[in-house]
A and B are shown apart, each in its own frame.
Chain A
């Protein structure tokens, strides 16, 4: 069995030797280079371009502006959110909006000319920050992809609470955050005879194909999207954002291949972000620690309606996390002159868990109860809002195994009571949860006479290890050594698969690979029975097995090579699709976890350092212990960044992002990260998908930030309710 083992990435060598080609590296002969020009005002209208300087510069092939851009198909009909405005009109809705594309024979020349483009604007009044319009919120028109409603209420919305009820009512905020994957967004576009081919950095080649074909008025099959490797996405490459569209537009204009690589600065206005959230949480509990009422009201920023709408669903997690007779949530949007927000690792759950899990810690402190005991007291055996049983839930085991590994029993519950020299020591915990998603997917397998298999699917490996895990699954199913299995992904001509988002790639694509393998097996068994000779005749296929590159019969074995030779065939192909089981709708499907953080705080200087970490996760079957651990620790580190460093800062008077670079937008560096212990508790989910996986991409980030905030409270007695936790918050 390869599944479950910590198999090395099969694409590892290609990645570290430079053999793995990323989108921007497919240089075609005659490629021209496109550079974006962005607005420097937040609202208004372009009154004119002055291109005299730019057009006179050497090597310029085209300057595409809102005045001369080709008209695209119906933007609203595009199946993925393609954000405003794609140069279709001259209105400005946010600072950093794309307003022109300069195409030149070299990147440097295009960059120089882009800087020489002069723009005249008529500025109008803008909402520069969410807080400037916080009182004017609207209800989301579309919410959580239609799978949930913005508001929910279980039980009495205003229950009568007995005397002695304890209450916590606080506001928690999370800032704008940007994904900042290592690889920037990049596209090479090439038109040939009305066919468009794009090499683009995306988490969804199938979605990119749909979006581009719709915008350019083509049949989907006339657009080929290629993306063999992705240097991180974290949600920012889930949609097809304007740069990919503008690259294709530019390539058509200059009639050459065009490469458009978004700069790091432009990454802050080109491909979404996690919106700021302002979350009001009200908890009521009986003196013995039973939750009587839970309310979680979320305000989050979105862009102006012309740009689009995105609602960070922060309170979804509160609907299912704890049992209470009254659970109410709401989501409202504040329209700001910023670009369109989007999914970012644990969208909703990461920001929402900070609020609800901080509030739970506050209530535990008010009750003088251990935070784990308080959570166990309100453990949800069933999903309290959906009123469905959980497909599987091993959260108790997460609390127990995490607490033991962490040494939670050594925690003195009194804040500011634990020290290491002059440093204050704090221990905090929080619950994690993320939905177990799945979508239809398909895959194919080709087997050749030498016993090699090629697994193909139009999914993409966004760095999580999909190349490797699909090969492991196929090798196990077909009884082949792993080295004989290759995986080909990231090409829209392959069998289609969903976006790599929502932690669902394994849950969706692995069943398709298994189904294709079943189809392959059936064919091999039939060939063995028909061509194996007299002793194979009449054997029931159910009695056969595949092992060590051979079909094993009751009395005899036939190697794949022998079968192919006797049947006079060179290869066998099998393609299959797999769909979510409708019975799964009878369950609430989630992964769970418990995060334990220890921090050391310098009480004089306000410096917080995370000193230890244990994360225990109920995340279903693990396909590859090594790539899984990488995802788990990566998510936790992402959560450390959320807690302590990450914040996109906005100039309140212009709406322009001030720290649009990774020198000033801080993410955790190695020196900030201690050893991280991850525990995968024994749990397999037989309902969510046939393999029993639950998804691990986002889960480990959820709960990491509140675990740190709770540890900081325990260390210092200071409750920080606004992320990131900053030195000035702790300087008392």
Chain B
């Protein structure tokens, strides 16, 4: 860990201005940033502590659910509206990390959690994400945990978080504020960038721009939703593959379907072809199985992670069975 300056600005506008200075990094719960610092994966000159900002409110009005960027994973998971109307989000959070981490981790921080790629986290290895242009030994190496969607020859690192998988299924937006006070909204899917030739640029955030809230528009499909996560042990592990699935079933027909996958993409991965195959169909195992097959298109696998296609298909089917039951 290198020496750094830490400041805790009193206002959002101060935070964004300080965050825009080259070499500055925001820190909220710190559950990821601390690891990255200790492992010398990042070496910021300045840490901008967001602790003093009032961004932890959860509000629900005008058909819009607003999760403050500093709301903790624990608080959002336990919120009665989330539990009742957005079960996939609550479950995704509760299946993340450990209670201690969930008490510290925040909405904004979780969306921006860095990859768990073993090569990224150990600077004894080359890594195009950590040290642009140094190469990617992971693709020909220990790639079991790595992505099969959205990859490039420069990087196959998986986006590790559970929460944005569920959010992606519900077309969540993020509210951003830039230095100078300008705000904008961005669909979550547009927050993230695919690695391409620049895997070190992971989001479309501008310098100093801060996530202030996650916005969810009320939608009928969210109540009948679930998050299924498969991992190597029962608790406290990242997903091998996970799925957020939601169905809107009316008169025995699927009106709307949402399927997003975790553990398989370089960003939280929506599966539109599966959704299309489900819409208008009668919910049954055969329909689910046929639809789940659609994810194979576009997957790029290594020998070690090829099993994720089949596992993802099985998870989708199981989750669809769960929400249609």
- Measured between C-beta atoms, what is the minimum distance from A724 to chain B in Å? 8
Q: Is the CB of A669 within 8 A of B2?
A: no
- Asked if B140 CB lies within 8 Å of chain A CBs, one says yes
Contacts A653-B137, A653-B141: A668 and B118 contacting too (C-beta < 8 A)?
A: no
- Asked if A607 CB lies within 8 Å of chain B CBs, one says yes
Q: Smallest CB-CB separation from B310: which chain A residue?
A: A731
Q: Is the CB of B311 within 8 A of A112?
A: no
- Asked if A111 CB lies within 8 Å of chain B CBs, one says yes
Q: Smallest CB-CB separation from B2: which chain A residue?
A: A112
- Asked if A400 CB lies within 8 Å of chain B CBs, one says no
The B-contacting residues of A in range 637-667, CB under 8 angstroms, are 644-645, 649-654, 656, 658-661, 663-664, 666
Q: Is the CB of A727 within 8 A of B230?
A: yes
A91 to B2, CA, bound (A): 29
Q: Is the CB of A651 within 8 A of B137?
A: yes
A731 to B122, CA, bound (A): 31
- Asked if A552 CB lies within 8 Å of chain B CBs, one says no
A659 to B118, CA, bound (A): 6
Q: Is the CB of B125 within 8 A of A669?
A: no
Contacts A604-B317, A664-B118: A669 and B311 contacting too (C-beta < 8 A)?
A: no
Contacts A604-B317, A651-B137: A726 and B125 contacting too (C-beta < 8 A)?
A: no
B230 cross-chain contacts in A, Cβ below 8 A: 605-607, 727
| CB-contact partner of B119 in A115, A650, A658, under 8 A | A658
A522 cross-chain contacts in B, Cβ below 8 A: none
A324 to B215, CA, bound (A): 71
- Asked if A672 CB lies within 8 Å of chain B CBs, one says yes
Contacts A40-B124, A112-B2, A660-B122: A605 and B314 contacting too (C-beta < 8 A)?
A: yes
| CB-contact partner of A605 in B1, B118, B119, B315, under 8 A | B315
Q: Smallest CB-CB separation from A724: which chain B residue?
A: B232
A38 cross-chain contacts in B, Cβ below 8 A: 124
B3 cross-chain contacts in A, Cβ below 8 A: 112
Q: How many chain-A residues does the 8 Å CB contact rule pick out? A: 38
- Measured between C-beta atoms, what is the minimum distance from A93 to chain B in Å? 16
- Measured between C-beta atoms, what is the minimum distance from A156 to chain B in Å? 43
B236 cross-chain contacts in A, Cβ below 8 A: 669
A659 to B119, CA, bound (A): 9
Q: Is the CB of B141 within 8 A of A651?
A: yes
Q: Is the CB of B125 within 8 A of A651?
A: yes
Q: Is the CB of B137 within 8 A of A666?
A: no
A611 to B236, CA, bound (A): 19
Q: Is the CB of A731 within 8 A of B307?
A: yes
- Measured between C-beta atoms, what is the minimum distance from B71 to chain A in Å? 24
Q: Is the CB of B232 within 8 A of A669?
A: no
A381 cross-chain contacts in B, Cβ below 8 A: none
Q: Is the CB of B118 within 8 A of A727?
A: no
Interface string of A94-116 (1 = CB under 8 A from B): 01000000000000100110010
- Measured between C-beta atoms, what is the minimum distance from A613 to chain B in Å? 15
- Measured between C-beta atoms, what is the minimum distance from B194 to chain A in Å? 24
A727 to B305, CA, bound (A): 11
Contacts A605-B314, A727-B240, A727-B307: A669 and B235 contacting too (C-beta < 8 A)?
A: yes
- Asked if B116 CB lies within 8 Å of chain A CBs, one says yes
- Asked if B237 CB lies within 8 Å of chain A CBs, one says yes
A585 to B232, CA, bound (A): 46
A656 cross-chain contacts in B, Cβ below 8 A: 122, 124-125
A672 cross-chain contacts in B, Cβ below 8 A: 233-235
Q: Is the CB of A727 within 8 A of B122?
A: no
Q: Is the CB of B137 within 8 A of A654?
A: yes
B116 cross-chain contacts in A, Cβ below 8 A: 663-664
B232 cross-chain contacts in A, Cβ below 8 A: 644-645, 666, 726-727
A726 cross-chain contacts in B, Cβ below 8 A: 232
Interface string of A44-56 (1 = CB under 8 A from B): 0000000000000
Contacts A664-B118, A666-B232, A672-B233: A651 and B314 contacting too (C-beta < 8 A)?
A: no
A671 to B118, CA, bound (A): 25
Q: Is the CB of A115 within 8 A of B40?
A: yes
- Asked if A694 CB lies within 8 Å of chain B CBs, one says no
Q: Smallest CB-CB separation from A604: which chain B residue?
A: B314
Q: Is the CB of B311 within 8 A of A666?
A: no
A190 to B125, CA, bound (A): 36
- Asked if A728 CB lies within 8 Å of chain B CBs, one says yes
- Measured between C-beta atoms, what is the minimum distance from B127 to chain A in Å? 12
A726 to B122, CA, bound (A): 24
Contacts A605-B318, A660-B122: A731 and B233 contacting too (C-beta < 8 A)?
A: no
A607 to B142, CA, bound (A): 21
Contacts A112-B1, A666-B233, A727-B230: A606 and B141 contacting too (C-beta < 8 A)?
A: no
- Measured between C-beta atoms, what is the minimum distance from A298 to chain B in Å? 25
The B-contacting residues of A in range 255-297, CB under 8 angstroms, are 265
- Measured between C-beta atoms, what is the minimum distance from A104 to chain B in Å? 13
- A-B contact sample (20 more), CB < 8 A, given A265-B122, A671-B233, A727-B232: A112-B3, A604-B314, A604-B317, A605-B314, A606-B230, A609-B234, A649-B118, A651-B142, A652-B141, A653-B140, A658-B142, A663-B116, A664-B118, A669-B234, A669-B236, A671-B235, A672-B233, A728-B307, A728-B311, A731-B307
Query: Could you name 17 residue pairs across A and B whose Cβ atoms are closer than 8 Å?
Result: A112-B1, A112-B3, A115-B2, A652-B141, A653-B141, A654-B141, A658-B118, A660-B122, A663-B116, A666-B233, A669-B233, A669-B234, A669-B236, A672-B234, A727-B307, A731-B307, A731-B311
Top 7 closest pairs, chain A to chain B, by CB: A728-B307, A671-B234, A658-B118, A671-B235, A40-B124, A658-B142, A651-B141
